[in-house]
Amino acid sequence: MIRVLITRPEPGATQTAGRLRALGFFPVIAPLLSIAARDVRAPDDVAATLLTSRNAVAACPPSLRDRPIFAVGTATAACAAEAGFSRVFNADGDASALANLVADTLSPGDGSLLLPTGQGQGTELATSLRRRGFRVVRRVAYQAVGVSALPEVAATHLRQHQLAAALFFSAETARLFVRLVQADGLAEAVCDVEAVSISERTAVALRPLTWRRVSVAAKPNQDAMLALLK
Which of 88, 109, 144 delimits the end of a domain?
A: 144
Q: How many domains does the chain have?
A: 2
Domain check: are 129 and 184 in the same one?
Answer: no
* Helix axis angle, 95-105 to 123-131, nearest 10°: 30
Give residue-wise pLDDT tens across range 56-75: 998 888 888 889 999 999 88
How much is the pLDDT for 201?
Answer: 93
Last residue of a domain, one of 144, 169, 195: 144
230 pLDDT more than 80: no
Q: What is the pLDDT of residue 6?
A: 98
Cα 149 from Cα 183, distance rounded (Å): 9
pLDDT for the residue 65:
87
Which of 92, 111, 144 terminates a domain? The answer is 144
| Mean pLDDT, the chain, integer | 94
Closest CA to 19 of 75, 83, 79, 91: 75
Render pLDDT for 113-157 as a digit per residue (tens, 0 to 9).
999 999 888 999 999 999 999 999 999 999 889 999 999 999 999
The closest of 89, 117, 115, 121 to 102, measured between CA atoms, is 89
The mean per-residue pLDDT over the stretch 94-102 comes to 94
Q: pTM value?
A: 0.83
Asked if pLDDT for residue 43 goes beyond 90, the answer is no
Q: In which band, very low, low, confident or very high, does the pLDDT at 2 lie, cut at 50, 70 and 90?
A: very high
132 and 63, same structural domain? yes
Are residues 104 and 165 both part of a single domain?
Answer: no
Q: What are the pLDDT digits (tens) for 12-21? A: 999 999 999 9
pLDDT at position 99 is 95
Shared domain check, 22 and 41: no
- Please choose, from the candidates 47, 10, 48, the residue with its C-alpha nearest in 3D space to the C-alpha of residue 30: 10
CATH of the domain at 188: 3.40.50.10090
Domain residues for the domain of 52 are 36-144
Same domain, 60 and 139: yes
pLDDT at 63: 86
Check the CA dihedral 103-106-107-109 and report its sign: negative
Strands 163-168 and 26-29: unpaired
Same domain, 55 and 100: yes
Q: Model confidence over 162-204: pLDDT tens digits?
A: 999 999 999 999 999 999 999 999 999 999 999 999 999 999 9
Whether the predicted pLDDT of 11 surpasses 80? yes
pLDDT over threshold 90, residue 10: yes
Pair (181, 109) in one structural domain? no
| Contact between 222 and 16 (Cβ < 8 Å) | yes
Q: What percent of the chain has pLDDT over 90?
A: 81
